[in-house]
Structure 1
């Protein structure tokens, strides 16, 4: 099977009070589901290199454009993008397909959603694979105040919340340039500039490093965000303190088997005590930056498939 699944033929599936645009592969493998969750600012299309291989390995592959992305619903209320809603959408997908549980794979924000689903809905998540973003211990103070104290008000997490709409408008006005500048690899070191880094990136006329994808692939992302705007996806960030509150009484231990894939040159902070909260985790590293499954698609796919195969063997023994 080609690694470019036909992304022109999605289904619109009603879940959790909204509709999700869902792409599938391996529909003949009913009973063995794996759900792929993209990050920001991504799409289900970011899994294009993995979907065919997973289908060939016997999985029913389900890759939604999550709420706020692509042609999926874009609710107006910021609170409609909190972790309860995002995880509820995944449970709704399981219910739609008639599955009790599934293996969940997530990159970036998608990884955070998958980790959260594992503790919010533990009976619906049988395995977790996370790329880039590890499971993070819930801190004693709301995360925005913590981030602002450590990094300052120019942190995009803080800026998105303290100055709502400002960054979104810049991204909307420079969608192609922003995404072209963002989806890079092998970027040379540079001195930090004053101001909010992602806004600076959207205004930068010259990309740094090498492109992660072809012009045709980039156009898929550009077309989608030019149609949807960035505000719905940025609203995920505007719930970080709300999510902290929602998770207060949740058992924080991820008890499922888990695979954590880091990029050696990714700037996302690693979890110093991951094994304490995810005791059954296996940690691996690939020599790449943040866009792991798109930068090193063959290596990432191989890691995922080999880990899944080992889990299947262990389950049968």
Structure 2
């Protein structure tokens, strides 16, 4: 099994482009060595990541015989940055994933039960939220679904802004989202150098006195001088950081507007999901949730009671911060591989 992480511009994958639903999506795609793929895996990244964030997982799936597709989500790299916030809603993004799967798989590929274009769908951070919503809106698309760090939250019949939750003493770990949804971060982090310093902070770089660039209570450090003094990220090599910055700067100015728009759609999501809330009972497809035990943004408590929403839920944990895809990549990969070996049909399991 190939466990060598992708390098920037790695020949095992290529970037392609698709025009779907009025948006341009760029995505990494890798094909297995065998002539006919075992299946297709879609991997959805979160903030402030990109398709390359799955660099430790993509080689593993390729070596298992899967075709792998990792989109750059809206607002990232060469993918569109729509002006209208409704295009960033979970429903809109779920529809995009359905359309992109149709584009990649074509009209002739069938799932094991005859359904056209079924995929295995995985996500992390916002990508985890996306995959659960694709499972809600387009269950026929999914053969199996997994999320790393992001627990499932059922559609709600009641709207409450984050400010009210915080005032009531709830969801303190989401306080940073108020800053990200506001104007300050995108207004301050504007140049390639700023983006590099910002990413070092988000991915764990520390200053000479242990200073950090991000906390869940305060958000991003906006003193650019302080941000510049942060040391290297333990999770990004210099070449990887350079690649991230290059990809961020493919967006029109300001380069962080797109990534931050994901924090500006909570009311839109609620309004669109109200029609699901009354009738929702369970997701029927095989599902895996891997929690990170030291995730400050998505603590374990958020996943309490998830089981009641699934017919086939497997749970796992890794000893990691929020960046489990990199920090605990071997453990994450092993749990996903073991789960797939249990839940996929026998004819597919035999090829793994």
Range of TM-score over shorter length:
0.7 to 0.9
Matched, 1:94 2:105: no
Match of 1:53 among 56, 60, 63: 60
Per the TM alignment, residue 19 of structure 1 is displaced from its structure 2 partner at its CA by 1.4
Distance 1:316-1:67 versus aligned 2 partners, 3 A rule:
closer
1:20 lines up with 2:25 in the alignment: yes
The equivalent residue for 1:62 is 69
Is residue 56 of structure 2 the alignment partner of residue 39 of structure 1?
Answer: no
What is the aligned residue count? Answer: 314
With over 3 angstroms needed to count, the CA separation of the structure-2 counterparts of 1:10 and 1:146, relative to structure 1, is same
Gaps of 5+ in 2: 107-115
Q: Could you tell me how far apart the structure 2 residues matched to 1:61 and 1:75 are?
A: 26
Offset at residue 236 of structure 1 (A): 1.3
Contact between 2:176 and 2:216, CA under 8 Å: does it hold in 1? no
Is contact 1:175–1:222 with CA below 8 Å preserved after alignment? yes
Q: CA deviation at 1:86?
A: 0.8
**Distance change in 2, residues 1:282/1:204 (3 Å):** same
User: Cα distance 1:193–1:60, how it changes in 2: closer, same or farther (>3 A)?
Assistant: closer
Q: What are the within-5 Å matches in structure 2 for residues 65-144 of structure 1? A: 65-96=72-103, 97-98=105-106, 99-139=116-156, 140-144=158-162
Look up the match of 2:244: 221
Q: Of the candidates 284, 289, 303, which is equivalent to residue 255 of structure 1?
A: 284
Tell me by how many angstroms 1:125 deviates. 1.5
Partner residue, 2:175: 155
Asked whether the 8 Å contact 1:7–1:23 carries over to 2, the reply is no
Shift of 1:207: 3.6
Deviates more, 1:209-218 or 1:43-52: 209-218
Cα separation, 2, equivalents of 1:66 and 1:253 = 27
Structure 1 residue 166 corresponds to structure 2 residue 192? no
- Aligned pair in 2 of structure 1 residues 258, 77: CA closer, same or farther (>3 Å)? same
1:266 to 287, 295, 300: 295
CA distance in 2, matches of 1:48, 1:221: 12
Q: Is the 8 A contact 1:119 1:252 kept in 2?
A: no
Where does structure 1 lack aligned partners over 5 or more consecutive residues? none
1:196-223 C-alpha deviation (Å, 9 max, x unpaired) = 3224586534448961121111211122
Quote the offset at 1:9 in angstroms. Answer: 3.0
**Cα-to-partner distance string for 1:150-190 (whole Å, 9 max, x where unaligned):** 357x92322344x3x22212233521111001112899899
Residue deviations 1:263-288, cap 9 Å, x none? 11111133211111124211111111
Task: Indicate if the aligned counterparts of 2:45 and 2:72 stay in contact, CA closer than 8 A.
Answer: yes
Give the drift of 1:132. 0.7
CA distance in 1, matches of 2:57, 2:216: 38
- Answer with 1 or 2: which has the greater Rg: 2
Q: Say whether 1:179 aligns with 2:199.
A: yes
Q: Distance in 1 between matches of 2:248 and 2:14?
A: 19
Contact 1:186 1:289 in 2 (8 A): no
